[in-house]
Amino acid sequence: MIVHADCDAFYVSSERVFNPSLIGKPVVILSNGDHTVVALSKEAKALGIKRGDNIKRIMALYGHHGLKALSSNYTLYGDMSSRVMEVFGQYTPDMEFYSIDEAFANLYRHKYVDLDSYVMDAKNRILQYTGIPVSVGIGQTKALAKTATKYAKKETPNGFYRIKDNEDRIRLLKWLPVGDVWGIGGKYEAKLLAMGIETAYDFSMMPGEKVNELMTIVGYRLWCELNGHQKIDFEYEVPNKKGIGSAKGFGIKVTEQIELQEAMEVYLSRCCDKLRAQNLACKHLFIFLHTNPFATDEPQYYKGIEVELSVATYHTHILKEEANRLLKKIYRKGFNYKRIGVFLSHLVPLGAIQSNLFDNPNTERNAKLTAVLDAMNNRYGRDKLRFASMGYKHDWKARAEKLSLHFTTDKDDIIVIK
């Protein structure tokens, strides 16, 4: 049996653990730069607010309902996510971390346990240990388990549902609109609706070949899963990424190269942290910058540039030199820049770095420098030891004016008890 667990309004729930005044109130979490809604509580949903709504507009409309808006605090959400997953992982080793707030578990080993009480116990323990409420569904396949979770969230008082038999499966599929099926959205939804396919059940009754033809093998796998045949594999290990990137919009108009360089180096430094955390090195570096395409009255500029390194590297200081060289080539004076981004690709495991004939004589020195950099920052906090060219003031940073504290990762930010 497959279990699917999904945190309820995860970002809002994380905030509520440390700020009880948000409990029971409509709460929205804002995108980078505090522009639009990325997550919301069920109270905010009930007001009619949706993801993607503009904050200024909804504040004008619903501010008097006591609507609270917060900047997204990914440091907090990331830590709370690990805690939830750790507790869930105490129940089975066969887990897939599907996203920051969702996981699958394969309980094929648990033949002789009462699944319902086992899973309810996990759900209650997650709530007690972390304060995060989760909804749980059980089904024959991943797609059915996900359907059961959806049903649990909307139709059950305790946020738990197990698909009991075939009749029950059909009942749930008839309940689920086709656009809400895992992976069906946008253009496929419109196509299916045009064909008279309205529910997940209708979809599951289509001939398999037709689904394959219409939606490729991905749609066909989903179709099989809804019919009770496991076709979507578990990804127990997080697959190695193809690339690591970081690109964020600025909070102000940036015109100078020095500011672009600061932002680029900060993003690059984050990428390099991730690279090294996964014991990878990269052979390809891409940077891009652009103006604000929505400011139609301003001159527009977009440029990307890439370089293939002779030897794969994971050193911040080497990639930084390369990135600065690239930036110098594409920077033009006289534009209001909106964003700069960095992307590292052609990732290789550390052990597989091919050095060339004219290997850098500084290899050992570089390794020591980076090791010290990481050791210092692991112990004293991110960027405590850093390159001065990354700057300090960071006026270009996107607004995050309503950011809550790093309650679980910063000594100075822990909750206050009176």
Partner 1 sequence: MEGHLLVSKECLAEYKDSEISYFIAPGIACGFPSPATDSLEVRLSITDFFTSNPTATFFGRAIGSSLEGIGIFENDILVIDRSLRPVNNDIIVMAYEGGFTAKKVLKEGNQVFLISENSNYPPVEVADPDNLIVWGVVSKIIKDPRSAVKNRYGHIRKVI
- d(CA 171, CA 123) in angstroms, rounded, equals 25
21 binds partner 1 (CB under 8 A): yes
Q: What's the min distance (Å) between Cβ of 408 and partner 1? A: 7
368 binds partner 1 (CB under 8 A): yes
Among 2, 8, 19, 399, binds partner 1 (CB under 8 A): 19
Q: What's the min distance (Å) between Cβ of 129 and partner 1? A: 4
398 binds partner 1 (CB under 8 A): no
269 binds partner 1 (CB under 8 A): no
371 binds partner 1 (CB under 8 A): yes
How does DSSP classify residue 389? G
Among the candidate windows 47-55, 159-167, 246-254, 370-378, which touches partner 1 by CB under 8 A? 370-378
Nearer to partner 1 (CB atom), residue 26 or residue 137 = 26
* Residue reference for tokens 């699958």: 104
In the region spanning residues 65 to 94, those forming contacts with partner 1, defined by CB under 8 A, are 83, 86-87
378 binds partner 1 (CB under 8 A): yes
Q: What is the dihedral of CA 269, 270, 273, 275, to 10 degrees?
A: -100
- d(CA 191, CA 167) in angstroms, rounded, equals 28
Among 113, 190, 217, 372, binds partner 1 (CB under 8 A): 372
Cite the DSSP H helix spans in 158-256: 166-175, 186-194, 200-204, 208-226
Among the candidate windows 215-223, 253-261, 352-360, 371-379, which touches partner 1 by CB under 8 A? 371-379
Q: What's the min distance (Å) between Cβ of 314 and partner 1? A: 12
394 binds partner 1 (CB under 8 A): no
Q: What's the min distance (Å) between Cβ of 265 and partner 1? A: 22
CB atoms under 10 Å from CB of 314, counted, come to 22
Q: Convert residues 111-130 into a mask of x (bound to partner 1 by CB under 8 A) and - (unbound).
A: -----------------xxx
Buried b (16+ CB within 10 A) or exposed e, 327-366: beebbeeebbbbbbbbbbeebeeeeeeeeeeeeeeeeeee
Among the candidate windows 17-25, 44-52, 301-309, 312-320, which touches partner 1 by CB under 8 A? 17-25
- d(CA 326, CA 319) in angstroms, rounded, equals 11
CB atoms under 10 Å from CB of 176, counted, come to 20
The backbone torsions φ and ψ at residue 255, rounded to the nearest 5 degrees and listed phi first, read -120, -30
How does DSSP classify residue 101? T
**Phi-psi label, residue 342: left if phi above 0, alpha if psi -120 to 50, beta otherwise:** beta
408 binds partner 1 (CB under 8 A): yes
Among 8, 23, 118, 189, binds partner 1 (CB under 8 A): 23
Among the candidate windows 56-64, 199-207, 266-274, 365-373, which touches partner 1 by CB under 8 A? 365-373
All residues at 6 or more sequence positions from 340 whose CB lies less than 8 Å from its CB, including other chains: 247, 260, 263, 264, 267, 287, 288, 289
Length of the chain: 418
131 binds partner 1 (CB under 8 A): yes
Binding positions for partner 1, rule: CB under 8 A: 19-21, 23, 83, 86-87, 128-131, 367-368, 371-372, 374-375, 378, 407-408, 414-418
